[in-house]
Chain A
């Protein structure tokens, strides 16, 4: 490139800063007009048309005024931004439809009755047995996976050296990818071998969920422990504190907020698992408080069975989905709040 062309490049004509806004307004107006001409203006069609019009017009304008390189740049910017917009469609539509359909049957009585004596098109009945079942099964899964996950993370960060620690780290990562249904099959196979083929209990589902949850707990706790500055450990050692006390009183205490957050996110992730519970815990129309004896209903399985049943069941499925999402979101929110307000302040 000669000096002359560089100079021309720098002084090249640019579109005015308000050009994109004007083009955007124009594209939206045109597509609204076209939409109202058609049979019925559907929102996604109008938006899609507006985006395409905007991209084409701006590209042509920019190519004429600024040259092909800037035009490609603008086009890439539009493509990247609309990719993000595209991802928001499922999120927004999903939240909207779950809330609007879920509210039809969502009520205090839905949250406080079970399905005993409910048949046909009766709109009574609720999911309290499923909510209790979900809490029991997930709670038991958490009881299994939190200690195992916590100690494994401590091993990886504080004790583990050499090939064994590397192998565990790697296999934990691989384990996060185990399909949930395979975890369910594993729990089924395990309990069938020990208690015979007819055994069904909530604890089977808890074991399946624990297989899915433990690697998530390990990963997040490990990350939190690695964030604890080494100076803190060395200071404790210098004072003569034994290693295990240093871990309990210094490392874990410093990382406590992060660990709690990670565990809650892990719980939120497995509480909505359906497939492993469908094939192990099964379903039931009434309350069962005993984790070790008999089938249990859980919220995701309840939603699925009601959907499969059809009719008024579909409304119940949406209400159950809403309940489930509320629980998951509450856990997520609580986790974020804990990590925000209880994290050690950086100095």
Chain B
């Protein structure tokens, strides 16, 4: 290795350590390298173990006869698939609704911080948005169940009475313990991660592209539309998918806000229609035993597979953009 620069003043331990070229140092190096290498391998093993243990524990439910499954008090379905189906539907519906609300707002916030706010304020404002990520999910649950439901009640009453002819808005019943309220809470919870990644990509737009657009006489918005947004498209897509992964797996907020039901239903404002996998596990698990534990773990396995795929795709998109070193 060539050393072009003069030695920096770091060598408090250097010379003495170099003098003692004893066996203990070779040995120390091996142990240290081994520990590092082993930790890296351990991470791979843990990830594999998560999958393996879930499969092992879910096996009794996967192989059980439907008549055995019917012994479980809350199991009202023909088969395991018939039980998991509505749960997957509810999970995906709530997450997609949350995403539909969070993505436009996040892009707005990210643009505000990267291109609109005064330079000196931008970092502080970004920190304010990051604070949303620091709030524990159970607090979001309390906030959603005891504050947001009351605030959304007039909005949803109005929505149901004026747009009620569209089926998805029909049949609102107070209190607003419906999937739309749960999705609003989820949207707030995934705002920070989508914003953080989107902000990061927007800031990486080549300065020359922006200046070229401005030099051609574009207004600030035209510059953003022609230079910043096309450059950031894949970053925004992967940010949205990371947010989707979070929303799919979020438990407490849904558990505390949503009145559960197991239907394939598009009535967004009716309570008792939907339930998500995660919230269902948290609700049933403390009282479960035997085969019912196995059924719940099987649903958890489904959730793991879904979120793994979503996150995998999102990270693959990010990784393809080598120039983008991401906020995670």
Chain B stretch 281-327: residues in CB contact (< 8 A) with chain A = 281-282, 285-286, 289, 293, 296-297, 300, 303-304, 307-308, 310-312, 314-315, 318-319
List chain A residues, Cβ under 8 A from B33.
159, 243-244
Shortest CB–CB separation between residue B121 and chain A, in angstroms?
Answer: 11
Shortest CB–CB separation between residue A125 and chain B, in angstroms?
Answer: 18
A179 and B278 contact, CB distance less than 8 A: yes
Other-chain residue from A160, A239, A245, A274 in contact with B40 (beta carbon distance below 8 A) = A160
Distance in angstroms between the alpha carbons of A86 and B5 in the assembled complex? 51
Verify if A219 is at the interface (C-beta below 8 Å from B).
Answer: yes
Write out, one digit per residue, whether chain A residues 222-256 have a CB within 8 A of any chain B CB (1) or not (0): 00000000011011111111111101111000100
List chain A residues, Cβ under 8 A from B245.
177
Binds B, one of A20-28, A89-97, A111-119: A89-97
Verify if B224 is at the interface (C-beta below 8 Å from A).
Answer: yes
Chain A stretch 166-184: residues in CB contact (< 8 A) with chain B = 167-168, 170-183
Distance in angstroms between the alpha carbons of A328 and B150 in the assembled complex? 27
Verify if A343 is at the interface (C-beta below 8 Å from B).
Answer: no
A181 and B303 contact, CB distance less than 8 A: yes
Verify if B77 is at the interface (C-beta below 8 Å from A).
Answer: no
CB closest chain-B residue, reference A218:
B43
Write out, one digit per residue, whether chain B residues 217-260 have a CB within 8 A of any chain A CB (1) or not (0): 10111101000000000000000001001101111100110000
Distance in angstroms between the alpha carbons of A244 and B37 in the assembled complex? 13
Number of interface residues of A (CB under 8 A): 111
Verify if A325 is at the interface (C-beta below 8 Å from B).
Answer: yes
Other-chain residue from A158, A182, A244, A272 in contact with B136 (beta carbon distance below 8 A) = A272
Determine which residue in A75, A179, A239 has the highest number of CB atoms from chain B within 10 A of its CB, and name it: A179
Shortest CB–CB separation between residue B306 and chain A, in angstroms?
Answer: 9
Distance in angstroms between the alpha carbons of A174 and B47 in the assembled complex? 10
Other-chain residue from B7, B50, B137 in contact with A235 (beta carbon distance below 8 A) = B7
Verify if B208 is at the interface (C-beta below 8 Å from A).
Answer: no
Chain B stretch 41-86: residues in CB contact (< 8 A) with chain A = 42-44, 46-47, 49-50, 53-54, 56-57
Number of interface residues of B (CB under 8 A): 109
Other-chain residue from A77, A244, A279, A324 in contact with B32 (beta carbon distance below 8 A) = A244
Verify if B161 is at the interface (C-beta below 8 Å from A).
Answer: no
Given contacts A84-B112, A86-B105, A304-B141, contact A178 B50 (CB under 8 A): yes
B109 and A83 contact, CB distance less than 8 A: yes
Binds B, one of A29-37, A52-60, A185-193, A285-293: A185-193
Distance in angstroms between the alpha carbons of A182 and B281 in the assembled complex? 10
Verify if B268 is at the interface (C-beta below 8 Å from A).
Answer: no
CB closest chain-A residue, reference B185:
A90
Distance in angstroms between the alpha carbons of A213 and B8 in the assembled complex? 35
Other-chain residue from B31, B36, B311 in contact with A158 (beta carbon distance below 8 A) = B36
List chain B residues, Cβ under 8 A from A93.
143, 147
Shortest CB–CB separation between residue B305 and chain A, in angstroms?
Answer: 10
Verify if B163 is at the interface (C-beta below 8 Å from A).
Answer: no
Verify if A314 is at the interface (C-beta below 8 Å from B).
Answer: yes
B138 and A234 contact, CB distance less than 8 A: no
Write out, one digit per residue, whether chain B residues 158-190 have a CB within 8 A of any chain A CB (1) or not (0): 000000000000000000000000000000100
Verify if B142 is at the interface (C-beta below 8 Å from A).
Answer: yes
Distance in angstroms between the alpha carbons of A183 and B51 in the assembled complex? 10
Determine which residue in A156, A242, A244 has the highest number of CB atoms from chain B within 10 A of its CB, and name it: A244
B300 and A156 contact, CB distance less than 8 A: no
B128 and A317 contact, CB distance less than 8 A: no
A240 and B18 contact, CB distance less than 8 A: yes
List 14 A-B pairs, Cβ < 8 Å.
A77-B220, A81-B116, A83-B107, A90-B132, A148-B42, A155-B36, A181-B249, A188-B297, A189-B54, A197-B289, A244-B32, A272-B138, A300-B137, A300-B138
Interface residues of B (CB under 8 A from A): 1, 3, 5, 7-8, 10-15, 17-18, 21, 25-26, 28-29, 31-33, 35-40, 42-44, 46-47, 49-50, 53-54, 56-57, 104-105, 107-109, 111-113, 116-117, 125, 128-129, 131-143, 145-147, 151, 188, 191, 195, 217, 219-222, 224, 242, 245-246, 248-252, 255-256, 278, 281-282, 285-286, 289, 293, 296-297, 300, 303-304, 307-308, 310-312, 314-315, 318-319, 328
